[in-house]
Structure 1
């Protein structure tokens, strides 16, 4: 099957499964298959119940409900992606931006080699240094930072070895849910303070940043949605 048709089929599936399990599907789903990644970005994703909770300042509850639903859905989504794209998936990440009503999935193939980048871009080394500064403000400098411009509007950033000892201890004591919510808030706020520097290096306006972690493998994926500057 041609890549465009695969991406269209994956888009329809993601919209359908989100609608079936969350009570409302996204407005638009953008899928990119670019070895070794499958990226999914969706918009206008917020149910009436969630909107009511947000108006009551219960954003954390919305995140907890979504995360628990994804605990049961992730394996199903991964299985479908593997069958359609014919890859074995190593990591699967997800995140939401409740304010902009957007969300993302990032799947990483098992053949992923972080030392090899087929999706490089100008100022990439300087961009990695900026990511290291932001990471240090949140926890520590990652053991490894890599980035991949999978299309002109979609940038994937992978960080490895980012957890500090206290975070590992929290995870060991079953606190991964609260840690994920706290890290989302902290890192997005820190990325926001460095947007001018990031946009200058990327030569693009950053429309959205979504972040997730695989605590078991001590890795993270961030998805940047870009608007290139002509």
Structure 2
């Protein structure tokens, strides 16, 4: 990895941590940034505020989700602007998700074309075909088999899966009726329960899936899944 890419990753990590502290009142314990191909991923660990902890204890997760959604909608444009000023690259899409009980979060930006020139991604990692077939099965259970699926390893611990063409007609109608956020929450719960309780993925990758995140861009009929892996 070039010194410039490494420096960009450190600066983006520092800026993201600062933005979260400024808006949430508390930042994450650590921020890991990876740049590769046309993707930038940001993985946050130990991120939960004292007020969120109280709400969790009182089983008010919905309130936490609503607050985070509002704050992230304010923060993400600022992070995108910073990335563009730093690297000259404009992020066209941004995805995010979190796991409250593991206190982790992911932010993932995609730019047009392979212009980031970060560390090379591994598009032929061990178990790729089997993993994509398993993701097809997941999609079929919760929506439909995607028209297109692309996956690659950003690094040995981080795997990105992008699916296009997954919405069914009923979901599109719910989105048209303004129920997109409710639909996303339901789909997220279903998919992540599958990902968190699926030993098949561990066997395919010969690694343990420690964390998983998923988000959608309904306008593009597109989904992004990020898997964080470790030793079995």
Task: Tell me if both proteins adopt one fold, taking TM over 0.5 as the criterion.
Answer: yes
Q: Which moved more, 1:165-174 or 1:25-34?
A: 165-174
Query: How far does residue 170 in structure 1 lie from its aligned partner after superposition?
Result: 1.3
Residue 217 (structure 2) pairs with residue 214 (structure 1): yes
Q: Which moved more, 1:172-181 or 1:142-151?
A: 172-181
Alignment partners' CA distance in 2, 1:62 and 1:180: 16
Query: How far does residue 174 in structure 1 lie from its aligned partner after superposition?
Result: 1.4
Report the secondary structure of 1:100's partner residue: coil
- Unpaired runs of 5+ in structure 2? 116-120
Kept after mapping to 2: 8 A contact 1:139/1:164: yes
Query: How far does residue 88 in structure 1 lie from its aligned partner after superposition?
Result: 2.3
Residue 224 (structure 2) pairs with residue 225 (structure 1): no
Q: Deviations over 1:95-132 (max 9, x none)?
A: 0000100000111111159xxx7532012111100001
TM-score by length of 1: 0.93
Alignment partners' CA distance in 2, 1:38 and 1:121: 19
Alignment partners' CA distance in 1, 2:43 and 2:125: 21
Alignment partners' CA distance in 2, 1:36 and 1:5: 18
Q: How does 1:167-206 map to 2 (within 5 A)?
A: 167-194=171-198, 196-206=199-209
Alignment partners' CA distance in 1, 2:142 and 2:226: 18
Q: Which moved more, 1:80-89 or 1:206-215?
A: 80-89
Report the secondary structure of 2:219's partner residue: coil
Q: How does 1:6-85 map to 2 (within 5 A)?
A: 6-85=8-87
Query: How far does residue 26 in structure 1 lie from its aligned partner after superposition?
Result: 0.3
Match of 1:103 among 105, 112, 116: 105
Alignment partners' CA distance in 1, 2:84 and 2:183: 29
Query: How far does residue 47 in structure 1 lie from its aligned partner after superposition?
Result: 0.4
User: In the alignment, which residue of structure 2 is the partner of 1:149?
Assistant: 153
Query: How far does residue 36 in structure 1 lie from its aligned partner after superposition?
Result: 1.1
Cα root mean square deviation, aligned: 1.6
Query: How far does residue 167 in structure 1 lie from its aligned partner after superposition?
Result: 1.3
TM-score by length of 2: 0.92
The count of aligned residue pairs is 225
Report the secondary structure of 1:216's partner residue: helix
Kept after mapping to 2: 8 A contact 1:157/1:222: yes
